[in-house]
Structure 1
Amino acid sequence: MACGGFTCSKNSLCALNIGYVMVSLLMMGGAAWGKWFGLVSSFRVVGGVVGVGIFLFFVALIGLCGAIKHHQVLLFFYMLILFTIFVVQFSVGSACLAINDDQQERLLEIGWNNSESTQKDVERTLDCCGFYTFDVNATCDAVCFKTHNCEPCGVKIQVYAEDALRFVGGISLFFSFTEVLGVWLAYRYRNLKDPRSNPGAFI
Structure 2
Amino acid sequence: MVCGGFTCSKNALCSLNVVYMLVGLLLIVVAAWGKGFGIVSSIHIIGGVIAVGFFLLLISIVGLIGAVHHHQVMLFFYMVILFIVFLFQFGVSCSCLAMNQGQQEKLLNSSWNIMSNDTRISLENKMDCCGLFNNTKTDFVSDLHLCEAPCVKKKSCLTCGEKMLQHSSEALKILGGVGLFFSFTEVVQNAAARMLTGTQK
TM-score normalised to the size of structure 2?
0.91
Which range moved further: 102-111 or 145-154? 145-154
CA root-mean-square deviation: 1.4
Partner of residue 84, structure 1: 84
CA distance in structure 2 between the aligned counterparts of 1:124 and 1:163, rounded to whole angstroms:
23
- Which residue of the partner structure matches residue 198 of structure 2? 191
Following TM superposition, the consecutive aligned residue runs of length 4 or more in structure 1 with deviations greater than 4 angstroms are none
Opposite residue 99 of structure 2, the aligned amino acid is: I
Per-residue deviation, residues 99-149 of structure 1 (Å, max 9, x unmatched):
111111011011112103332232112110111234375222311122332
Q: How many residues align?
A: 194
Partner of 2:177: 170
Offset of 1:163 from its aligned partner? 1.8
Q: Distance in 2 between matches of 1:143 and 1:36?
A: 23
Q: Provide TM-score, normalisation by structure 1.
A: 0.91
**Stretch deviating more after TM superposition (37-46 or 87-96):** 37-46
Equivalent residue letter for 2:177: G
Which residues of structure 2 form unaligned runs of 5+?
Answer: 135-139
Deviates more, 1:136-145 or 1:175-184: 136-145
Q: Bigger shift: 135-144 or 1-10?
A: 135-144
In structure 2, C-alpha distance between the alignment counterparts of 1:142 and 1:175, rounded to whole Å = 38
The answer to whether the Cα contact below 8 Å between 1:21 and 1:57 also exists between their aligned partners in 2 is yes
Kindly provide the amino acid, as one letter, of the partner of residue 109 in structure 2. Answer: E
Contact 1:112–1:118, Cα closer than 8 Å, also in 2 = no
In the alignment, is the contact (CA less than 8 A) between 1:130 and 1:152 conserved in 2?
Answer: yes
Separation in structure 2 between the aligned mates of residue 117 and residue 106 of structure 1, nearest angstrom: 22
Write the letter of the residue equivalent to 1:188.
M
The 1:89/1:98 distance shift into structure 2, 3 A limit, reads same
Gaps of 5+ in 1: 195-203
Q: CA deviation at 1:186?
A: 0.2
Q: Give the helix-richer structure, 1 or 2.
A: 2
Aligned residue identity for 2:188: L
Select the structure with the greater relative contact order (CA < 8 A; seq sep ≥ 6). Answer: 2
Higher deviation after alignment, 78-87 or 117-126: 117-126
Cα shift at 1:165 = 1.1
User: Which letter maps to 1:132?
Assistant: F
Q: CA deviation at 1:164?
A: 1.6
**Partner of 2:43 in structure 1?**
43
What are the residue-to-residue correspondences of 1:153-164 with 2, within 5 Å? Answer: 153-164=160-171
**3-state DSSP class of the match of 1:91?**
helix
Counterpart in 2 of 1:197? none
Q: Write the letter of the residue equivalent to 1:190.
A: T
User: Which residue identity is paired with 2:172?
Assistant: L
* Distance in 2 (alpha carbons) for counterparts of 1:117 and 1:31: 18
Contact 1:27 / 1:53 at 8 angstroms: preserved in 2? yes
Counterpart of 1:192 in 2: which secondary structure?
Answer: coil
Q: How far did 1:36 drift? A: 1.4
- Any idea what SS the aligned residue of 1:3 has? coil
Question: Within 1, Cα distance between the matches of 2:166 and 2:123?
Answer: 13
Aligned position for 2:148: 141
Q: Is this contact kept in 2: 1:2–1:8, CA < 8 A?
A: no
